Amino acid sequence: LGPVGPGKATSQGVLLHSLVAAAWPATDPDPAAKRPALPLLGLLDQQFHVRQPVPAAEKAHPHGGSRPRQGRVRASGLWANSRRAVGQPPAGTRWVVVADRGADIYEHLQQCQAQGLGFVVRAAQDRALVAGAAKTPAGRLFVLARAQPSAGTCTLALRGRPRQPAREVVLQVSFSGPVALRAPQRPGGATGKGEPVPASVVRVWEDTGPEAAPGLEWLLLSDQPVTDFTQALPCVRQYTSRWLIEDFHKALKTGLGAEKLQLQTAARLFAAVALLSVVALALVDLREKSRLEPDLPAEAAGLTNTELRVLRHQSRRPLDTVRAVFLALAGLGGHLGRKGDGPPGWQTRWLGRRTLRLLVEGVNRAAQFLDD
């Protein structure tokens, strides 16, 4: 489905754009919690995209290729497709699009508000700001956000990355709002004539000192008014929930091996990924519950009654909580659960889930055999 390999010249492949729905707590989450427990509702939308190479004529265009590229399928159009698939929220409910810098697109933010969707998006563009009906220039987004003093602090548990161990950091939080984001300045008769997008800005950063390496910094755009620290903190906590989509893709690729299927047609690959996505989402949901609400009853783990009975018989333990079910599944996948062992990985979790499925299939076949 395209050249894949090391290097920019051979790294083309099929990209996956997923939209996962989670329920935000009806009441304000516990400020002392590292991250609120979010039950996953399902997979709202999933699209496949193959990046097209930029033609030479577009690169050589005097206006930077803004006109010729309008006819080319671009990754930014995936957000428009997702919005159409989601539709408008029902009366009395609020849907919030939480996304990384790839969603910092003027048309996307504008259409979210027109469609009744909220957003918490990490800013990627140092956009120009305007004020009033005359659209008077009012500075730049990044300069304004970084000029605001800290209004408070929050603690965040950062996950480990290559050469960066997991750690807890104390983050400063400031806010600016409301602001009006100017429409993009593009060649053509409609340049800059679009309506400004009203938004609030929340800055989150790690104060590392002048001599240390730059720390974490997020500049978040929100459709909600932010006038004090208590209104800024939910924006920060909502953005941290974006890690759910990263965990979902990690479970899909690392755990279930979606990249190793070696299917040779797009139709077969897309069908296989769609099926595996349901399983990956269930694995993420179980991991979330075991981590954030470990004392929930075992029936909340998402297993059928037969699966739960077989797992209890196999592990020879009562398994009364979600955490106990999670560890028992990991044990089926080979996790030893010793004191020095880390948490089970995605491959171990998937192997345990698959082993349980085989055991249940054997029980069902044995029951049919006895009936016959």
**Each residue's pLDDT tens digit, 67-88:** 545 556 677 789 989 998 999 9
pLDDT score of 29 = 58
Range among 16-25, 35-44, 189-198 with highest mean pLDDT value: 16-25
Q: CB–CB of 104/121 below 8 Å?
A: yes
CB 9 within 8 A of CB 211: no
Using the CB atoms, write b or e for 344-365: b if 16+ within 10 Å. Answer: bbbebbbbbbebbeebbeeeee
Q: Is 69 exposed, middle or buried (0-12, 13-18, 19+ CB in 10 A)?
A: middle
- Mean pLDDT (whole number) for 103-107: 92
Distance CA 19, CA 362 (A): 35
> Where does the pLDDT of residue 137 fall: very low under 50, low under 70, confident under 90, or very high at 90 and above?
confident
d(CA 123, CA 351): 39
Q: Using CA atoms, how far apart are residues 352 and 332, in angstroms rounded to an integer?
A: 4
Largest separation between any pair of C-alpha atoms in the chain: 83
What pLDDT is stored for residue 295 in this prediction? 92
CB 328 within 8 A of CB 354: no
Q: At what angle do helices 266-292 and 243-250 cross, to 10 degrees?
A: 120
Span 193-200, mean pLDDT? 89
Q: Residue 132: which pLDDT band, with cuts at 50, 70 and 90?
A: confident
The single residue listed with the structure tokens 């209104």 is 231
Concatenated DSSP letters of 199-262 = EEEEEEEE---SSSPP--EEEEEESS---SHHHHHHHHHHHHTTHHHHHHHHIIIIIS-GGG--
Q: Where are the beta strands (DSSP E) in the chain?
A: 14-22, 40-50, 96-99, 118-122, 128-131, 136-140, 152-158, 167-181, 197-206, 217-222
Check residue 153 and give its pLDDT.
92
Confidence of residue 35 (pLDDT cuts 50, 70, 90): low
**Tens digits of residue pLDDT in 224-262:** 999 999 999 999 999 998 989 999 999 999 889 888 887
- 3-state SS assignment for residue 178: strand
Q: Contact, 215 vs 205, CB < 8 A?
A: yes
Give residues with Cβ within 8 angstroms of 8, minimum separation 6. none
Query: Which of 340, 341, 247 is closest to 292 using CA atoms?
Result: 247
Q: What is the pLDDT of residues 340-361, one digit of tens each?
A: 888 899 999 999 999 999 999 9
pLDDT in tens, 276-301: 999 999 999 999 889 888 899 999 99
Residue ranges of domains in the chain, CATH in brackets: 86-241 (3.90.350.10), 260-371 (1.10.740.10)
Highest mean pLDDT among 58-72, 182-196, 334-348: 334-348
